Structure 1
Amino acid sequence: MFDLFVDALVDTAKMLPWLFVFYVAIEFIEFKFGGKIREKIKTAGKAGPLVGAALGSVPQCGFSVISTALYTQRLITTGTLLAVYLSTSDEAIPIILAQPDKVGVLLPLLTVKIIIGVVAGYSIDLVGGRLSNAYMESEICAALEDGHLPGEDSDEKGCCGHSCGAEKPPFREIIIHPLVHTLKIFVFLFGVTLLLNFLIFKIGEENLHGLLLGNSIWQPVIVALVGLIPNCAASLAVTQIFLSGGIGFGAAVAGLSASAGLGILVLVKENRNLKDTLRIIGILYAASVISGIVIQYFYK
């Protein structure tokens, strides 16, 4: 048992320097470009799902939260919000980049998730027949005349409670916050790795593979449910299990597409229409599962 602990600790510790560097970069992006990204989404109009999917793929802390806030203010469409949710990968990108031998899966993963986000986003808006209905046009036009948009002065926060879009990020925020975030992810990652090692030791790799439905086309149904958990641990677990060979590419896509991070929590809390909230979560899960099953079937 002690050997399992040491192996998990060593494997996870190797990622620490990489994770810290990537989280510093993410923090800088968030402070430097968070406001600009928010404005791009607000003013995207009919291009909302395309812009949302593209920008959602940027590894920016709390972007799904910001998009959810814009949706609850009715500044973006349902399709745009879902495009952001589906393309967002939460902690997946840093975890993959922290393992150089696995980097080859990153581009296909991001590309597929952006495509899913764009297709699902436009489909939802078009099927609803109200591509621009979520926009409060008179309010936006009046705000543009004043030189700003609704919600621009609101105290919007990133995933860990810090402000986004600052011109000059404080040294403490650009270093201390990534360091704290890295340590939190390290603890989650260590826990997942130790659990996987323990399960393989206890029940065997073949049996574990069977419990996860092998490479069955139904595997995405289960993994997408894990992805819906509104916590970074969900995307972290899906990514790590995928990189270790426990689930297929289609299942990983399903889990990471459903993983909208804390955006789901904000939606449940702030959206006054419970039926609308449940509809969005249902569509997110269905789009993730269907995409994952299709990919799992064709991608061997």
Structure 2
Amino acid sequence: MTAVLSTAQDAFFDVLKTVPLLLLVYALLYYIENRLTDTPALLSRTAQFGPAVGALAGSIPQCGFSAAASALFSAGYLAPATLVAVFLATSDEAVPVMLAGGASAKSILALLVVKFVLAALGGYLLRCTVFRRREVKLDEPLEIELNACGCGEPLPNILGHTLKTSLFLFAVLLALDLVLLAVGEDRLASVLLGGSIFQPLLCAVLGLVPSCAMSVLLSELYVSGTISFGALVAGLSTGAGFGYIVLLGEKQGRRRAAPVILATFILAAVGGTVTQLLFG
């Protein structure tokens, strides 16, 4: 019972850390949808920088950026290739956990650089291929759905949307953390095929579990020598944390979620495998 209460408390504080960023994002969405008239032209002019900017934003070690990016994507203000770039670059809690575990600054820097390169290159590759028809045409007006926050009074609208998303995050995160508690980290580590070329693929699957706890677990497994650097890259590249929960929780984003998640997984698994072959 104590373990369950502790897990619920951890989930609550994980979500609480994300609330300020969600408030900021939904306030921004409300302002864009109800105050700005030249947003489509502005977005069309800046669309070409999407994946690189997304990769840079995702590289910031903060658990809430993937959730913010998913909210913007659901509202139509972020292209799918850019969202994938954010997901691939995100490392959630990995950096502080690795620092606390004694990992060298060199290995942490290498992790951030590899993930940024994977995110930027992967984003532009998707933009030119899979998501080509879904990307913004720079010479055409941008059409977007302006219905994420809607009209009405701003404060109740923003607070209501933030509360709804936060409650959804907490419910899903608590359920996932309880499952992880029941399975046990030791048992999970034993099935990750240490030293195998398939380890990045397995870690990429593990990273799909939408919880910031995954970044902590993967970082601890790497510091302890259980998984390789390539496997860490793969797991953290799919480990978009709250991003998946928000993406699947928003009606507008849910319809387009599968291609984004699948593209993230494939690029993460391939990138992690290549990294393991090159660097271990």
Cα distance in structure 2, aligned partners of 1:245 and 1:65: 30
- Is 2:222 aligned against 1:242? yes
Cα distance in structure 1, aligned partners of 2:93 and 2:85: 18
Deviations 1:112-153 (A, max 9, x none): 11111111111111113243159972669xx9xxxxxx8696
Secondary structure of the equivalent of 1:50? helix
Structure 1 unaligned blocks of 5 or more = 1-22, 144-149, 163-183, 201-207
Cα distance change of structure 1 residues 139 and 276 upon mapping to structure 2, 3 Å threshold: closer
Deviations 1:56-75 (A, max 9, x none): 11122311111111111111
Cα distance change of structure 1 residues 76 and 272 upon mapping to structure 2, 3 Å threshold: closer
Bigger Rg, which one: 1
Partner of 1:214: 194
Aligned pairs, number: 233
Cα distance in structure 1, aligned partners of 2:199 and 2:28: 34
CA RMSD of aligned residues (A): 4.1
Q: TM-score, normalised by structure 1?
A: 0.64
Partner of 2:39: none
Q: Taking every aligned residue pair, what percent have the same amino acid on both sides? A: 32
Partner of 1:87: 89
Cα distance in structure 2, aligned partners of 1:274 and 1:161: 17
The structural deviation recorded for 1:242 is 0.8
- Is 2:157 aligned against 1:132? no
Secondary structure of the equivalent of 2:264? helix
**Match of 1:109, as an amino acid?**
L
Q: Which of residues 247, 250, 264 in structure 2 aligns to 1:270?
A: 250
Cα distance in structure 1, aligned partners of 2:61 and 2:255: 30
Q: Which of residues 116, 124, 135 in structure 1 aligns to 2:118?
A: 116
Cα distance in structure 1, aligned partners of 2:25 and 2:255: 30
Deviations 1:9-36 (A, max 9, x none): xxxxxxxxxxxxxx9xx98x969x9799
Cα distance change of structure 1 residues 58 and 262 upon mapping to structure 2, 3 Å threshold: same
Secondary structure of the equivalent of 1:137? coil
Cα distance in structure 2, aligned partners of 1:96 and 1:247: 13
The structural deviation recorded for 1:281 is 1.3
Q: TM-score, normalised by structure 2?
A: 0.68
**Match of 2:267, as an amino acid?**
A
Secondary structure of the equivalent of 1:58? coil
The structural deviation recorded for 1:86 is 0.5
The structural deviation recorded for 1:223 is 0.7
Cα distance in structure 1, aligned partners of 2:74 and 2:188: 42
**Match of 1:80, as an amino acid?**
T
Equivalent runs, 1:71-220 vs 2, <5 Å: 71-127=73-129, 128-130=131-133, 131-132=135-136, 137=142, 155=158, 157=162, 161=166, 195-196=185-186, 208=190, 211-220=191-200
**Match of 1:55, as an amino acid?**
A
Structure 2 unaligned blocks of 5 or more = 1-13, 33-41, 168-173
Verify the 8 A CA contact 1:220 1:289 in the aligned structure 2.
yes
The structural deviation recorded for 1:249 is 0.6
Cα distance change of structure 1 residues 50 and 239 upon mapping to structure 2, 3 Å threshold: same
Partner of 2:50: 48
The structural deviation recorded for 1:97 is 2.4
**Match of 1:81, as an amino acid?**
L
Partner of 1:230: 210
Cα distance change of structure 1 residues 66 and 133 upon mapping to structure 2, 3 Å threshold: farther
